[in-house]
């Protein structure tokens, strides 16, 4: 991997190695409970998506539905490396990011059911998970469009720290806690590599040293198009980063611990030096692109091969066999694992029930949240509801 272009700009901070040769791996310092929590988060996403698929087939979920199954380690491992107030944006395959960031599964499911209790009050749907308290600025339905927004969110974070010297969240409060250095994670699919807006965004980020990390969740396909059929230099995407003067890393997204160990130093470096980066995160989606996909573009064998590297199985194996407590018992016992499975099933069942039993949005919601102040003169339909002046009616 070459960092030639990035190195030209890096006069002060040396590039970190993905594997520091002293001091061990970042994850070594983490308590076992954190690793168990990652496993739990990945299992929660898997179970959640399974139940989504069922609900979709029962026509309880409308719109479109893109499942994250197979990619769980990507969201969990990268988000684990951030602070809770680092902003993130993603594309439409967004349930995993929402859950990994801490969104209540009930609010997430209710959103897909179009219910008033959804995270966007049932108006956004599967592609539009928003959770401002958790600094999740949404899923996005236009492939690639979110890359510019992430660039802007990161720009704002830098402005806050460098120019305002106070958090934007409290406008008008001077002398409040100085803003801290933040990094914005901006996720995109490999299909978005071919959208112009990504290249404009990367150019701006490289030019202005914006602390944004573009994470390509490279699952090898955009709908039915294999990456090499749509993208130049698919065998080494870091070249694209190099062209924009930013660090680029290829990270294996199948082992969540490895992923974290490779990604955490990069986030820390971007935060400390307020610089952008680009990650080609290798992952794989097990299911079709959306709920109706003939999958002519790949073989069953290929899918099975990737499933044999399943990140959840792997993590469970590590925690139940390799990671040991001081008394050399495994950090996750058979019993604890079974309990985990049961509690997740229970949690997702609750989320489903919550979504089922929640009310649909009131019809008046149709006219809200278009502008801060409703403007009835904008909408003749609203006028008709209240009795039009039209003498023919």
Partner 1 sequence: MPRTEAMIKQGLTLVDAINEALYQEMERDTRVVCLGEDVGLNGGVFRVTEGLQKVFGPERVIDTPLSESGIMGTSIGLAMAGMRPVPEIQFEGFLGPAFDQLVNHAARYRNRSRGSITVPMTVRVPWGGGIHAPELHSDSPEAIYAHTPGLKVVIPSTPYDAKGLLLSAIRDPDPVVFFEPKRVYRSHREQIPEEAYTIPIGEAKVVAEGTDVTIVSWGACVHTCNEALDHLPEDVSAELIDLRTISPLDAEAIVRSVEKTGRCVVVHEAPKTAGFGAEIATIVQERSFLHLKAPVQRVAGFDVMMPYYKLEGQYLPDAKRVEEAVMQCLAY
Residue from 1, 13, 142, 228 in contact with ligand TPP (CB under 6 A): 142
The minimum distance between CB 255 and ligand TPP, in angstroms, equals: 20
Residue from 1, 169, 228, 233 in contact with partner 1 (CB under 8 A): 169
Instruction: Find, among 65, 54, 118, 63, the residue nearest to 94 by Cα.
Output: 65
CA distance 338 to 350: 18
Asked if 358 touches Mg ion (CB under 5 A), the answer is no
**With CB under 6 A as the contact rule, which of the stretches 38-46, 214-222, 344-352, 376-384 interacts with ligand TPP?**
214-222
Residue from 95, 97, 140, 271 in contact with partner 1 (CB under 8 A): 140
Q: Find the DSSP H helices in 233-374.
A: 238-243, 256-273, 300-307, 311-317, 334-357
Asked if 264 touches ligand TPP (CB under 6 A), the answer is no
Residue from 117, 201, 222, 273 in contact with ligand TPP (CB under 6 A): 222
Q: Which two tokens stand for residue 103?
A: 């969104």
**With CB under 8 A as the contact rule, which of the stretches 2-10, 152-160, 284-292, 307-315 interacts with partner 1?**
152-160
Which entry of ligand TPP, Mg ion, partner 1, none binds 143, CB below 5 to 8 A by partner kind? Answer: ligand TPP
Residue from 69, 90, 201, 219 in contact with ligand TPP (CB under 6 A): 219
Locus of tokens 């690639």: 144
Asked if 190 touches ligand TPP (CB under 6 A), the answer is yes
CA distance 350 to 356: 10
Q: Which two tokens stand for residue 17?
A: 């190695």
Sign of the CA dihedral running 115, 116, 118, 122: positive
Angle subtended by helix axes 256-273 and 72-79, to nearest 10 = 40
Q: Is the separation of the CB atoms in 269 and 3 below 8 Å?
A: no
Which entry of partner 1, ligand TPP, Mg ion, none binds 263, CB below 5 to 8 A by partner kind? Answer: none
The minimum distance between CB 144 and ligand TPP, in angstroms, equals: 7
Which entry of partner 1, ligand TPP, Mg ion, none binds 197, CB below 5 to 8 A by partner kind? Answer: partner 1
What mask of x and - would describe binding to partner 1 in positions 171 to 190, judged by CB under 8 A? x-------------------
Q: How far apart, in Å, are the Cα atoms of 149 and each of 126, 258, 347?
A: 19, 29, 33
Q: How far apart, in Å, are the Cα atoms of 66 and each of 270, 286, 288?
A: 30, 11, 8
CA distance 75 to 42: 9
Q: Is the separation of the CB atoms in 350 and 358 below 8 Å?
A: no
Size of the site for ligand TPP (CB under 6 A): 13
What mask of x and - would describe binding to partner 1 in positions 105 to 124, judged by CB under 8 A? ---------------xx-xx
The residues near 391 (Cβ < 8 Å, ≥ 6 apart) are none
Q: Within positions 174 to 213, which residues make up the interface with Mg ion, using CB under 5 A?
A: 189-190
The minimum distance between CB 179 and Mg ion, in angstroms, equals: 35
Helix (H) or strand (E) holding 228: helix 227-230
Edge to edge, what strands does the sheet with 184-189 contain? Answer: 88-89, 184-189, 212-218, 277-282, 247-252
CA distance 325 to 257: 17
Q: Which two tokens stand for residue 60?
A: 């309880």
What mask of x and - would describe binding to partner 1 in positions 357 to 376, judged by CB under 8 A? -----------xxxxx--x-
Residue from 125, 138, 191, 253 in contact with ligand TPP (CB under 6 A): 191
**With CB under 6 A as the contact rule, which of the stretches 172-180, 189-197, 291-299, 353-361 interacts with ligand TPP?**
189-197
3-state secondary structure of 281: strand
Question: Contact residues for Mg ion (CB under 5 A)?
Answer: 189-190, 219, 222
Question: Contact residues for partner 1 (CB under 8 A)?
Answer: 87, 89, 120-121, 123-124, 128, 130, 132, 137-138, 140-142, 145, 147-157, 159-160, 162-164, 168-169, 171, 196-197, 200-201, 203-204, 207, 368-372, 375, 377-378, 380, 388-392
């Amino acid at each position: 991997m070459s960092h030639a272009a990035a190195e030209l700009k890096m006069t002060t901070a040396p590039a970190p190695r993905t594997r520091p040769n002293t001091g061990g791996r970042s994850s070594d310092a983490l308590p076992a409970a954190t690793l168990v929590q990652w496993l739990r988060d990945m299992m929660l996403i898997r179970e959640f998506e399974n139940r989504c698929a069922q609900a979709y087939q029962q026509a309880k979920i409308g719109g479109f539905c893109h499942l994250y199954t197979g990619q769980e380690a990507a969201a969990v491992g990268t988000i684990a490396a951030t602070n809770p107030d680092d902003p993130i944006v993603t594309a439409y395959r967004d349930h995993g990011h929402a859950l990994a960031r801490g969104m209540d599964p009930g609010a997430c499911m209710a959103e897909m059911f179009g219910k008033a209790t959804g995270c966007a009050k049932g108006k956004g749907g599967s592609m539009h998970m928003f959770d401002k308290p958790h600094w999740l600025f949404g899923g996005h339905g236009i492939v690639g469009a979110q890359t510019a927004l992430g660039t802007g969110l990161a720009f704002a974070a830098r402005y806050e720290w460098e120019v305002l010297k106070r958090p934007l969240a409290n406008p008008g409060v001077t002398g409040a806690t100085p803003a801290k250095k933040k990094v914005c994670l901006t996720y995109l699919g490999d299909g978005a590599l071919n959208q112009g807006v990504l290249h404009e965004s990367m150019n701006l980020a490289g030019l202005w040293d914006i602390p944004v990390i573009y994470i390509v969740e490279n699952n090898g396909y955009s709908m039915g198009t294999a990456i090499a059929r749509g993208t130049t230099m698919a065998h080494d995407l870091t070249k694209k980063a190099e062209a924009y003067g930013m660090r680029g890393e290829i990270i294996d997204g199948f082992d969540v611990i490895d992923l974290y160990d490779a990604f955490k130093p990069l986030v820390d470096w971007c935060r400390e030096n307020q610089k952008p980066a680009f990650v080609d995160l290798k992952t794989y989606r097990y299911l079709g692109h959306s709920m109706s996909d003939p999958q002519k573009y790949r073989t069953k064998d290929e899918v099975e091969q990737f499933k044999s590297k399943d990140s959840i199985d792997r993590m469970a194996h590590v925690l139940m066999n390799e990671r040991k407590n001081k008394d050399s018992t495994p950090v996750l016992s058979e019993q604890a694992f079974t309990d985990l499975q049961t509690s997740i099933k229970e949690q997702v069942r609750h989320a489903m029930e919550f979504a089922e039993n929640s009310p649909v949005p009131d019809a008046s919601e149709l006219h809200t949240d278009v502008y801060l102040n409703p403007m009835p003169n904008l909408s003749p339909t609203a006028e008709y509801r209240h009795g039009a002046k039209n003498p023919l009616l």
